[in-house]
Amino acid sequence: MKKMNFKNSFFKNEKFKYSGLSTIIVVVFIVCLIGVNVLGSFLSERFTGFSIDMTYDSEYTISEKNKEYIEKIDKPVEIVVTCTEDYYLNEYISSISQTYTDSSGGKYFKQTIALLKNYQKINSNITVKFLDSSKPDFNKYADKYSDSNLSYGDIVVDYTYKTKDGKEKTNYKVVTFDDVYEIGTDSSGSSTGVISGSNLETSVTSALYYVIQKNKSKIALITGYGSADVSDYVKTLATAGYDYVEISDLNIDSIPKDATMIMLAAPTVDLSQSDIKKLDEFLLGKAGDNKFDYGTTFIYFASSVQSNLPNLDAFLEDWGIGFKQGTVFETNSNNCGESNTDIRFDLNTDDADRLDFVDELNSSYYYMADNNRPMKLLFDQKSKFNTYSILNTSDSCVIRPYNVSDNWSASDENTSVFSEVALSRYVTEDTKKNTARFSNVIAVASTDFIGSNALSVDYNANVRQLLSVINGCAGRVQETYDVETRVIDYTKFEPTDVQSNTVKIVSKYIVPIAIALLGVVLFVIRKRR
């Protein structure tokens, strides 16, 4: 057999070394570059982490805190926008222009679409749909939400599932324009009609939680008995996924049958004995009554301006919560704000450790409120009752009497620790089912604790802490949501549509073609050598 001469083999050929090999390298490089472009485009469409865009800074991405919760959703949920994407971005502002002005030039609406798309990128169980009224699919959704009086541009968070008997059931929550966009106000507090921010992320994330939540909680807010107006706070609870209804009193049949919580804020008129009986039945139930699996809760806010309320105070004492007349006065100026009644509180770690749902916030947050009524726990444990003082004052506080005289001196009073947020729980155990039912009374020493300052100051932890306690009593295990207003930062670089399209065309088409041409030129030049 003739021996092969490798000296003259094709792979030893000088032409191949200087032309063919170069061509192969260029072709492989081009294929890799095109592959990276295709893969990058796919990943940027599907996953938020791969979306690289100088236009979309933090204003266009979901916050890490909410992202952690969204990633845990294990049920199929649809986010349905009741118009097309093109309509939302180009015509929606025209439809609301008679009432509102968008000073961002459409950027808030672009932000909304970007954030909505990020939900399905974070979790494949979430699907975002835009409805086209000219398509047959539109009628299916229109009939499904026919009782909600939807408007174009509304966002519906929908969880549809089958019950044990095979029937289809839908839990949904509508997020409207007012839920999404923050409207600015002038110096007098009147609305300017100018869109100044977006609450989209908070509203949609809380709606997601609401529709998949097993323990549905409805709060009945009592507006009678000369009570204080806490409607703004109840709206923040609605943002956290709670339904609410207003009732005037505790007369027979006034409490909705599906209500799991009753809220009463700083009444100035005492409850009657029949009202107290109704409240007892709501919390502890009649004999054999167990209509709510987890239990019921009474949320009570006091005020230092309240007069004597013997029936209500006696009811609270039965639950281990005692109030006195007057105002809590802080003698140490280091523990108060502008006045000695505007007091800072500390988390009572001993009692907090006994409850697994208390939110232990970092030191950048603080608790503070004015006009606090003196509150103390009367016992730690009694029969089936257990009490917890979650927030406490310092030990340098005294009681300033109601209608104090001008010559009153704090040094004449005994100093003590008072409770600001307290919880009393009555536990009914079912040994056969190995379950427990919790009846709860949450008491807060001042309506100022959830007043306008608490709702607006970012580093005030009052609202977050109280929400964690309410969630715990409702049997909810969830992250507490910061009510965050997204504001477009105009100081950052934002390329125009022409610039953005130019970058895409250059990176996806011109660069690969240029490299391919370069490869051809190199091949021809080397072939002629």
Give the pLDDT score at 161: 87
Same domain, 392 and 447: yes
pLDDT digits 0-9 by tens, 122-168: 999 999 999 998 888 888 888 888 777 788 889 999 999 887 788 88
Considering 432, 458, 473, which residue would you say is the last residue of a domain?
A: 473
In a domain, 195, yes or no: no
Give the pLDDT score at 64: 81
Same domain, 466 and 349: yes
> Are 130 and 124 in contact, with CB atoms under 8 Å apart?
no
Cα distances (Å, whole numbers) of residue 126 to 117, 120, 418 = 10, 5, 47
Same domain, 453 and 513: no
Give the pLDDT score at 40: 52
Same domain, 438 and 359: yes
Q: CA torsion sign, 106 to 508 to 123 to 167?
A: positive
Give strand ranges (E) for 269-378.
295-301, 321-323, 327-330, 343-347, 367-369, 375-377
Same domain, 103 and 43: no
**Which one is predicted more confidently, 265 or 152?**
265
Give the pLDDT score at 4: 43
> Are 346 and 340 in contact, with CB atoms under 8 Å apart?
no
Same domain, 374 and 513: no
Task: Encode 42-60: b = buried (16+ Cβ within 10 Å), e = exposed.
Answer: eeeeeebeebeeebbeebb
Same domain, 333 and 452: yes
Share of residues in the chain with pLDDT > 90 (%): 37
Distance CA 4, CA 124 (A): 59
Closest-CA residue to 152 (of 102, 106, 84): 84
Considering 428, 457, 473, which residue would you say is the last residue of a domain?
A: 473
CA torsion angle 62 66 68 74 (round to 10): -100
430: alpha, beta or left? (left if phi > 0; alpha if psi -120 to 50): beta
Give the pLDDT score at 264: 96
Distance CA 373, CA 419 (A): 9
Indicate the pLDDT class of residue 35, thresholds 50, 70 and 90: low
Q: Which amino acid is at 479?
A: E
Distance CA 292, CA 260 (A): 8
Same domain, 323 and 174: no
Q: How many domains does the chain have?
A: 3
Average pLDDT over residues 226-249: 86
In a domain, 315, yes or no: yes
Same domain, 126 and 249: no
In a domain, 451, yes or no: yes
End-to-end, the C-alpha distance of the chain in Å comes to 36
SS3 383: coil
Indicate the pLDDT class of residue 8, thresholds 50, 70 and 90: very low
In a domain, 150, yes or no: yes
Question: What's 126's domain CATH number?
Answer: 3.40.30
Distance CA 268, CA 227 (A): 6
In a domain, 203, yes or no: no
Task: Encode 469-479: b = buried (16+ Cβ within 10 Å), e = exposed.
Answer: bbbbbbbbebe
Same domain, 37 and 98: no
Indicate the pLDDT class of residue 428, thresholds 50, 70 and 90: confident
Location of structure tokens 């006091």: 302
Q: Where are the alpha helices (DSSP H) in 408-486?
A: 452-456, 462-473
In a domain, 201, yes or no: no
Q: Which amino acid is at 162?
A: K
Q: Which amino acid is at 56?
A: Y
Q: What is the mean pLDDT of the chain?
A: 81
Question: What pTM did the predictor assign?
Answer: 0.64
Give the pLDDT score at 44: 46
Quote the tokens at residue 474. Answer: 């409702």
Same domain, 92 and 230: no
Same domain, 41 and 72: no
> Are 252 and 278 in contact, with CB atoms under 8 Å apart?
yes
Question: What's 242's domain CATH number?
Answer: 3.40.50.880
In a domain, 194, yes or no: no
pLDDT digits 0-9 by tens, 180-237: 888 887 767 677 888 888 888 888 988 888 888 766 688 999 999 999 999 889 887 8
Give the pLDDT score at 253: 73
Q: Which amino acid is at 290?
A: N
In a domain, 491, yes or no: no
With vertex at residue 487, the alpha carbon angle to CA 484 and CA 493, rounded to the nearest 5 degrees, is: 140
Which structural domain, as residue segments, surrounds residue 78?
63-187
